[in-house]
């Protein structure tokens, strides 16, 4: 729970000292950037590292969280003003600089850094300061080391990860620095433990440090534009907080879940279910759901993962003619993992913090939704001599057209949804038994079917569709390649550029989750 304490007079000297210290860092950074032409990235990361160290010691000089929170607000405002005006080049980079794809090189980190510190101060100051210190130090030092080492040594880039190139050397620096910081923190702060970490043997604490370092490294590798400044400390603090205060989450269970998620991610790369970014996202998602939810939450997710992944690989030759129609292929990237599993991920986080049993049905509903959408597409395109009609006008359209529905595809969406609920029934989930097995199957089946129709509706109305001049066909892809290998921009003929397949899938997942949650909640009210 977020809380702000009353200001204390004895904290005023420390407050003014902190303002002067941060102000000095900002002025120094601008001098190095503008007067001495030091690389803005290097300056920004050195400031980043310095502020991580400063924040680590802030709790030792303040009795109340009021002034640390006020400091975060002040410098968050300065960062936002600089982002808009380009005033502080050392914070956001050169506004005239462009990346290889023509986009401005800019970082939102200087806004997110004080923002996440503010959240940590409000949430963790009472009783969990050590978690605040550890997570912010990992972000401040580890993220800076990743950028500095990656820039200095370069080396091999990690393929199929993010638009901003990440190097193996940078990720290794992030991992090693994070591992050292977390290991030392878990040893030094043992006297501050109040829950699930008390009395744990050294090897388990080191294993936790190893897993958290892998999580932090994965977050840093996946995210660009400074977003890792928010999600690195949040992910570390979330795990440590849950293990400390939630008795349903055990350290041993979390470690086992993280190991299984890592093996699943490596397996997915090996069999080409996922790209590197997709496997990394799966590791993060899987660690949360497997490690916190246990088998009850794991089995439905694995049911979707394996059935949908295998189905995507079947009928490859028959579906080959649609490869240039769909935006992406069967080897999923991080965007597809977020679109298909992101809502389920959020449901798991909400449940872990609230304990609301209805969230489990919302979780099943979102998995049923993405399963229904996947099965409708895969079986609809594999079916012999399929016929599809546009959901908005019912006119016949080529199979594979966004918004097209068919009897085989629609039937498959309902059946696929039932498999998700059946997996929970198989696990003998008590919440399913309370609602009733037949009722639960119908609720989740209808939620998935409804969500797949929502997906088709958005696909027919708002999703971007382009005309490919090379092959003279409608496609979801923004660009095509000419026979000589040159890249050709496709013409937008329908929908909006920003409404791509991943966004439509996300809306589908949300709708399935919402339907299942509200139906079950209303049934319980009667």
Q: Give the C-alpha separation, 493 to 295, whole Å.
A: 46
Residue keyed to tokens 């319980």? 524
What is the maximal distance between C-alpha atoms in the chain? 79
The set of residues, in sequence order, having a beta carbon less than 8 Å from that of 79 and lying 6+ positions away, is 88, 91, 110, 111, 113, 114
- pLDDT bucket at 327, cuts 50 / 70 / 90: very low
Burial state string for 81-116 with b = 16 or more CB within 10 A and e = fewer than 16: ebbeeeebbbbbbeeeeeeeeeeebbbbbbbbbbbb
Phi, psi angles (nearest 5°) of residue 87: -65, -45
Residue 342 and residue 509 in contact, taking contact as beta carbons nearer than 8 Å: yes
User: Which of 327, 334, 338, 342 has its CA nearest to residue 402?
Assistant: 327
- Asked if residue 330 has pLDDT above 60, the reply is no
Question: Residue 329's pLDDT is what?
Answer: 47
- Structural domain of residue 336, as residue ranges? 293-463+499-526
- Asked if residue 104 has pLDDT above 70, the reply is no
Q: Give the C-alpha separation, 350 to 87, whole Å.
A: 39
Residue 125 and residue 132 in contact, taking contact as beta carbons nearer than 8 Å: yes
The set of residues, in sequence order, having a beta carbon less than 8 Å from that of 181 and lying 6+ positions away, is 134, 137, 138, 141, 142
The set of residues, in sequence order, having a beta carbon less than 8 Å from that of 347 and lying 6+ positions away, is 359, 360, 362, 363, 366, 513
Q: Give the C-alpha separation, 428 to 248, whole Å.
A: 18
Instruction: Say what the alpha-carbon torsion angle 134, 135, 139, 145 is, to the nearest 10 degrees.
Output: 40
162 versus 501: which is more confidently predicted? 501
- Asked if residue 242 has pLDDT above 90, the reply is yes
Give pLDDT tens digits for 50-59.
Answer: 999 999 999 9
Q: Give the C-alpha separation, 152 to 515, whole Å.
A: 51
Give pLDDT tens digits for 418-460.
Answer: 999 999 999 998 889 899 999 999 999 999 999 999 999 998 8
Residue 365 and residue 517 in contact, taking contact as beta carbons nearer than 8 Å: yes
Calculate mean pLDDT across residues 142-155: 83
Distances (CA, A) of 221 to 279, 288, 325: 12, 18, 30
Residue 511 lies in a domain: yes
Give pLDDT tens digits for 366-400.
Answer: 999 999 988 888 887 777 667 788 888 888 887 76
Q: Give the C-alpha separation, 2 to 123, whole Å.
A: 5
Residue 229 and residue 79 in contact, taking contact as beta carbons nearer than 8 Å: no
Helix axes 358-382, 294-313, angle to 10 degrees: 10
Distances (CA, A) of 296 to 293, 473, 477: 7, 45, 38
The set of residues, in sequence order, having a beta carbon less than 8 Å from that of 90 and lying 6+ positions away, is 26, 29, 30, 32, 33, 40, 43, 44, 47
Bridge partners (DSSP) listed for residue 479: 489
Residue 219 lies in a domain: no
* Average pLDDT value over all residues in the chain: 86
- pLDDT bucket at 298, cuts 50 / 70 / 90: very high
Residue 342 lies in a domain: yes
Residue keyed to tokens 């009210």? 525
Question: Residue 398's pLDDT is what?
Answer: 75
- Asked if residue 253 has pLDDT above 90, the reply is yes
What number of other Cβ atoms are within 10 A of residue 486's Cβ? 9
- The secondary structure of 301-368, three-state, reads HHHHHHHHHHHHHCCHHHHHHHCCCCCCCCCECHHHHHHHHHHHHHHHHHHHHHCCCHHHHHHHHHHH
Residue keyed to tokens 């030092």? 141
Residue 390 lies in a domain: yes
Bridge partners (DSSP) listed for residue 396: 389
Residue 387 lies in a domain: yes
Residue 173 lies in a domain: no
Residue keyed to tokens 């009733």? 436
Residue 348 lies in a domain: yes
Question: Residue 462's pLDDT is what?
Answer: 87
| Number of domains into which the chain is organized | 1
**If you count them, how many residues does the chain have?**
526
Residue 391 lies in a domain: yes
51 versus 525: which is more confidently predicted? 51
């Amino acid at each position: 729970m977020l809380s702000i304490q009353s200001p204390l007079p004895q904290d005023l000297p420390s407050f003014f000292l902190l303002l002067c210290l941060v102000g000095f860092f900002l002025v120094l950074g601008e001098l190095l950037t503008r007067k001495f032409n030091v690389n803005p990235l290097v300056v920004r990361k050195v400031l980043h590292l310095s502020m991580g160290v400063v924040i680590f010691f802030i709790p030792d000089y303040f009795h109340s969280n009021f002034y640390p929170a006020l400091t975060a607000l002040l410098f968050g405002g300065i960062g936002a003003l600089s982002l808009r005006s380009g005033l502080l080049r050392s914070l956001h980079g050169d506004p005239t600089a462009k990346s290889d794809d023509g986009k401005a090189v800019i970082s939102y980190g200087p806004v997110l850094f004080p923002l996440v510190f503010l959240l940590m101060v409000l949430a963790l100051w009472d009783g969990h300061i050590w978690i605040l210190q550890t997570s912010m130090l990992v972000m401040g030092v580890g993220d800076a080391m990743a950028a500095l080492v990656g820039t200095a040594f370069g080396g091999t880039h990690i393929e199929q990860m993010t638009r901003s190139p990440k190097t193996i050397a940078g990720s290794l620096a992030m991992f090693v620095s994070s591992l050292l910081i977390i290991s030392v923190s878990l040893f030094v702060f043992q006297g501050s433990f109040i829950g699930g970490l008390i009395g744990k043997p050294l090897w388990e604490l080191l294993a936790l440090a190893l897993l958290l370092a892998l999580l932090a490294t994965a977050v840093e590798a996946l995210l660009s534009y400074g977003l890792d400044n928010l999600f690195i400390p949040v992910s570390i603090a979330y795990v440590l907080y849950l293990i400390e205060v939630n008795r349903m989450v055990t350290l041993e269970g979390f470690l086992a879940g993280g190991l299984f998620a890592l093996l699943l991610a490596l397996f997915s790369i090996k069999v080409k279910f996922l790209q590197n970014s997709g496997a990394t996202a799966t590791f993060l998602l899987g660690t949360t759901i497997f490690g916190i939810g246990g088998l009850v939450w794991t089995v439905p997710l694995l049911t979707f993962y394996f059935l949908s992944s295998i189905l995507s690989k079947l009928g490859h030759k028959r579906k080959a003619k649609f490869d240039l129609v769909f935006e992406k292929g069967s080897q999923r990237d991080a965007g597809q993992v977020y679109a298909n599993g992101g809502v389920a991920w959020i449901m798991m986080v909400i449940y872990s913090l609230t304990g609301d049993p209805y969230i489990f049905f919302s979780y099943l509903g979102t998995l049923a939704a993405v399963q229904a959408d996947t099965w409708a597409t895969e079986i609809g395109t594999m079916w012999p001599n399929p016929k599809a009609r546009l959901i908005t006008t019912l006119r016949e359209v080529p199979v594979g057209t966004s918004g097209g529905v068919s009897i085989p595809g629609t039937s498959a969406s309902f059946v696929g949804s039932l498999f998700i609920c059946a997996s929970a029934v198989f696990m003998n989930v008590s919440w399913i038994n309370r609602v009733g097995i037949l009722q639960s199957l119908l609720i989740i089946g209808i939620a998935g079917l409804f969500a797949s129709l929502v997906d088709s509706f958005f696909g027919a109305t708002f999703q971007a569709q382009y005309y490919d001049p090379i092959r003279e066909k409608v496609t979801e892809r923004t660009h095509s390649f000419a026979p000589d290998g040159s890249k050709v921009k496709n013409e937008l003929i329908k929908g909006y550029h920003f409404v791509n397949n991943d966004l439509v899938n996300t809306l589908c997942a949300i709708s399935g989750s919402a339907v299942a949650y509200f139906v079950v909640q209303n049934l319980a009210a009667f």
